[in-house]
Amino acid sequence: MSVSLTLSLDAMGGDRAPDMVLKGIRIAHERHPRVRFLMHGNEAALRPVVAKDKTLAEVCEIRHTDSVVSGDEKPSQAVRRGRDSSLWRSIQAVKDGDAAGVVSAGNTGAFMAMAKLALRTLPGIDRPAIAALMPTQRGDCVMLDLGANAECDADNLVQFAIMGEVFGRTVLGLDNPNIGLLNIGTEDQKGTDALRQASAILRDSALPIRFHGFVEGDDIGKGTVDVIVTDGFTGNVALKAIEGTSKLYTSFLRRAFESSILSRLGYLLARPALNKVRMRADPRRYNGAMFLGLNGIAVKSHGGTDPLGFANAVCVAIDLISNGFNDTIRGEFMKVQRASGLNSQDLERAANG
């Protein structure tokens, strides 16, 4: 089932751009031959490479941009000064209706700030969230927010839960995904006021959500729920703590296998199986942090990724678009409001007494 759509790309974002982006497109093209790409970046750098490659020449349209937002630029500064940048123009192409979504491996904060400003949030959503897939003992789960909002109120968390639920159904293909709120215990009285209020709202039967209740940090890896909802501060720390632990274990294992001739031989024999583990937990498989809740799909690739990782981020964007993620979100919020006769602020007030 080959999807046909146009994706906007920031060709200059990421440590090894634009080379990494161009090679990534080649890989993504094999999976999605009918997707076209609007490349925003330095034409002098892009044109010769694209011209030499028949496939790239067929699927890419180059739009020249003069500047690049650097990795260390502050979001506020990028928004003010970066209107001729590859990042801003690639987002603007989505706003203008030239593309259904945008992918960049550039500055995360600037990308989010610009995407919020240009695309605005969907009806019913106060703030967008960053979401990503995480490996668990029971397949993948999705976790949000991973850093867009350092502080969140109950209403934000409830909106994240609804977006996560739609993500579970449309992208992960689950019938009835269950949702957990990340906390420091599973009892009702645990955690902050915002968490307790959000939990009270989510238990309300008017919401079309299977709410599991509170979950703890180790429930992420266990796969206790399909969707983990948290504020952007906690989510960002948890995500990076998990990444750091994966790297720690990889380095422990490497040292173990290199520690004697027997263990080296053991490694050689077990290598095919170990490579499967590596692929299972490969951060490139999970490359693609999604900005959910905007009028347009925006996916952030890791800045240090390689062509395969970038191609995965491109495929995540294609998945979100072709599965109608945003249309489903719009419908879901209309249903919630009809079913309850309330908007989400009213629901929160109701939960507070």
Report the distance separating Cα 231 and Cα 272, nearest Å: 39
Handedness of CA 106, 110, 115, 118 (dihedral sign): negative
Pick the closest to residue 181 from 192, 173, 170 (CA basis).
192
C-beta of residue 229 within 8 angstroms of C-beta of residue 199? no
Nearer to a second copy, 19 or 243 (CB): 243
Question: Would you count residue 349 as binding a second copy (CB under 8 A)?
Answer: no
Report the distance separating Cα 34 and Cα 5, nearest Å: 7
Nearer to a second copy, 265 or 339 (CB): 265
The site map against a second copy for 52-91 (x = CB under 8 A) is: ----------------------x-----------------
The site map against a second copy for 191-210 (x = CB under 8 A) is: xx------------------
Q: Which of 13, 124, 135, 296 binds a second copy (CB under 8 A)?
A: 135
Element of type H or E holding 165: helix 154-170
Q: In angstroms, give the least distance from the CB of 268 to a second copy.
A: 7
Tokens in use for 88?
A: 């801003």
Handedness of CA 202, 206, 209, 211 (dihedral sign): positive
Facing residues of 37 across strands? 7, 60
Question: Would you count residue 251 as binding a second copy (CB under 8 A)?
Answer: yes
The site map against a second copy for 151-190 (x = CB under 8 A) is: x------------------------------x-x--x-xx
The site map against a second copy for 209-248 (x = CB under 8 A) is: -------xxxxxxx-------x-xxx-xxxxxxxxxxxxx
Alpha-carbon Rg for the chain in angstroms: 21
Nearer to a second copy, 137 or 205 (CB): 137
Q: Which of 34, 98, 117, 274 binds a second copy (CB under 8 A)?
A: 274
> Would strands 227-229 and 289-292 be described as parallel, antiparallel, or unpaired?
unpaired
Handedness of CA 168, 172, 175, 176 (dihedral sign): negative
Q: In angstroms, give the least distance from the CB of 273 to a second copy.
A: 4
C-beta of residue 310 within 8 angstroms of C-beta of residue 105? yes
Q: In angstroms, give the least distance from the CB of 102 to a second copy.
A: 23
Q: Which of 150, 304, 334, 339 binds a second copy (CB under 8 A)?
A: 150
